[in-house]
Structure 1
């Protein structure tokens, strides 16, 4: 399971984004650059709910607003805002193009993917209304066949994660489902 890909899923969409280290770096940058700069915003929607669990339907708009803050800040942070030495040396496996100019450019497909997932949910709600069964927007293992098992994990399992527990997508350990 060393070659697992991680991405964003939701609204029936599956977007492969990269390695678990890439995903961790994305959220580390949010934690490091945005949380202290805008302490009054509800960052836990991204840094806990989205990062470790899933976004509830009623959280999507606020999460999208927060992600727009992230996009704006990443556009003004150049690529030396992150330590890329371990990626360059091969110590950390990465699918990121670290030669891009800004953090926004490095993580551009993350923003596109997040927005696509939200748009898919909105589309299905507009098409099916109350008949639409919400498929949560979340970070997930996107490698087949592991994705199939990941999708079977009850949302209550994510809800029960302890505050200091790593996300299931990071560990790659899919719990037994009875």
Structure 2
């Protein structure tokens, strides 16, 4: 069973297996539609979050955490993982001038290393019918 989580800056937050991440992403996508911003959920699912999108995503995640219903509290760990990786990505960029983006990644070694070192260009060239790297 492959484990996945969020990666950003120098942080890696392992959260569960791929089916659990897909469950979270369905929840997240539905919530993002209410904000009128499906691009962020699409980018998180398939690619990575751009530096200029981190602030908007951080505000939305903070609001979602406050508004979780009792049946949605299982997603708190995922939202907190996003926050951790946003903070780490921003700090890494401020400290080193290098953007290590927020993205979903395989957390098992050695696959973690592949995801960490994968050039952003490979994410950018993913076609609409191609699976994200973390699902392969």
> What TM-score do you get using the length of structure 1 for normalisation?
0.69
- Displacement of 1:14 in angstroms is 0.7
Q: After TM superposition, what 4+ stretches of structure 1 lie above 6 angstroms from structure 2?
A: none
In the alignment, which residue of structure 1 is the partner of 2:87? 119
Q: Which has the larger strand fraction?
A: 2
1:162 aligns with 2:130: no
In the alignment, which residue of structure 1 is the partner of 2:37? 42
1:55 to 25, 43, 49: 49
Alpha-carbon RMSD: 1.9
In the alignment, which residue of structure 2 is the partner of 1:144? 109
In the alignment, which residue of structure 2 is the partner of 1:27? 25
SS at match of 2:128: coil
Structure 2 CA distance for aligned equivalents of residues 34 and 14 of structure 1: 23
- Kindly indicate whether the alpha-carbon contact (under 8 Å) linking 2:93 and 2:100 is maintained by their aligned counterparts in 1: no
For structure 1, the 5+ residue unaligned runs are 79-101, 172-178
Q: What is the CA deviation profile of residues 51-94 of structure 1, one whole-angstrom value per residue up to 9, with x for unaligned ones?
A: 11011111101122232343344x12x4xxxxxxxxxxxxxxxx
1:16 to 6, 14, 24: 14
1:65 to 40, 54, 59: 59
Structure 1 CA distance for aligned equivalents of residues 23 and 14 of structure 2: 16
SS at match of 2:131: coil
Please say which of residues 158-167 and 138-147 is displaced more in the overlay. 158-167
Decide which structure has the larger Cα Rg and report it: 1
Structure 1 CA distance for aligned equivalents of residues 17 and 30 of structure 2: 20
- Kindly indicate whether the alpha-carbon contact (under 8 Å) linking 2:9 and 2:101 is maintained by their aligned counterparts in 1: yes
Structure 1 CA distance for aligned equivalents of residues 104 and 18 of structure 2: 10
How is 1:76-87 mapped onto 2 (pairs within 5 angstroms)? Answer: 76=69, 78=70
Q: Which has the larger helix fraction?
A: 2
Structure 1 CA distance for aligned equivalents of residues 43 and 29 of structure 2: 13
> What is the aligned length?
136
For structure 2, the 5+ residue unaligned runs are none
CA 1:41 to 1:69, structure 2 compared with 1: closer, same or farther past 3 Å?
farther
In the alignment, which residue of structure 1 is the partner of 2:98? 133
